[in-house]
Amino acid sequence: MSLVKHYWLALLGLAFFISGCSEQNNLYTLQIEGRTMGTYYQIKLVEPKAKLPDGDKLQAKIDQVLQQVNQEMSTYKADSELSRFNQHSSNQAISISDNLALVIEASLQLSEDSNGAFDVTVGPLVNLWGFGPEGRPEKRPNDQLLDETRAKIGYHHLSLNAGKLSKDLPELYVDLSAIAKGHGVDRVADLLEAEGYLNYMVDIGGELRLKGHNDKALGWRIAVEKPLAEQRAVQKVIAPGDNGLATSGDYRNYFEQDGVRYSHTINPNTGKPIANHIVSVTVIDETSMMADAYATAFTVMGVEQAMEFAEAKQLAVYIIEKQENEFVEHISAKFVPFVVQ
């Protein structure tokens, strides 16, 4: 699971500005920028100028929503709901908020569906391989340490029943970094719609929700990055429609030791970094939360299993695989209509 130094920090609203566009359609973009969950957020809201909201007031509401997500799901806030559960060492069930229950339930269901490729308890293994806040180890962990750490994880040790969360392994540690950022995007999108705005783009660290159109009165278009560590370039342009979008990749986050490349994405079933050749996975789904989670699961699965899963579930998935010196694309049937030719 891609859990690399996900610093969930207090929010800091940075700026907003209004940009004008064509006088023909009289549409303007209000852009709001800030920081959350150890990364940036950016919201673009499109309306006729007379209908644009006060930027400061809307940003205050957005920050309040994201602060609540942090308070529910951060592992860096000692008093968050999730942190309190992680500190809880008994098997006694604890009542949790509806939002946290929603994310946990989705996580457990995907863990079952993916045969453990997605697992929110994998954090100790991520740390063991040096991709967590503790930093990189001096050498590859030995088999004994690997087995000892694997014994401390497993989504099947986590239970959710009637809004109460429990664990049968005292040291079980839940980290929602591979799904909660997408959930945060959805929460902001829900706020915008509740305020009556139907043309927007919400972006938190690359996880997106889109609806309506931009200030040219055209549907939103998004560039999928070419998986190159040394430069930024466009691989493909897509028009996701009114959906969530997430991309997972390891081409900028890995380390090499004794000639071996170790990916930051850990396979919970083996306890080791993935050994497949997937470098990028893009998923389009109704919610950013599930797009976020699916992207991680498919990265762990490998191309063949991921594409079989995507076709069976009718999911829009785009995978880039590195074969020797070439990038090979794998596109599910549901993804094809979103590609801009």
**Selection from 113, 251, 279, 111 nearest residue 179 by Cα:** 111
Task: Give first-to-last CA distance, the chain, whole Å.
Answer: 32
> What is the three-class DSSP state of 289?
helix
Q: E strands, the chain, where?
A: 12-20, 27-36, 39-48, 94-95, 158-161, 164-167, 200-204, 207-211, 222-225, 234-238, 244-249, 254-257, 260-263, 266-267, 272-273, 278-285, 316-323, 326-331
Q: Are 37 and 181 in contact (CB under 8 A)?
A: yes
Pair of tokens at residue 138: 């001096």
Residue 15: how many CB atoms within 10 A of its CB?
A: 10
Task: Confirm or deny that 168 is annotated as ligand binding.
Answer: no
Task: Confirm or deny that 178 is annotated as ligand binding.
Answer: yes
Q: How far apart, in whole angstroms, are the C-alpha atoms of residue 74 and residue 14?
A: 21
Task: Confirm or deny that 63 is annotated as ligand binding.
Answer: no
- Could you tell me how far CA 38 lies from the centroid of its own chain? 13
Pair of tokens at residue 73: 């799901």
Q: How far apart, in whole angstroms, are the C-alpha atoms of residue 283 and residue 301?
A: 14
> What is the three-class DSSP state of 106?
helix
Given the structure tokens 């429609």, which residue do they identify? 241
Residue ranges of the binding site: 178, 292, 296
Residue ranges of the binding site for Mg(2+): 178, 292, 296
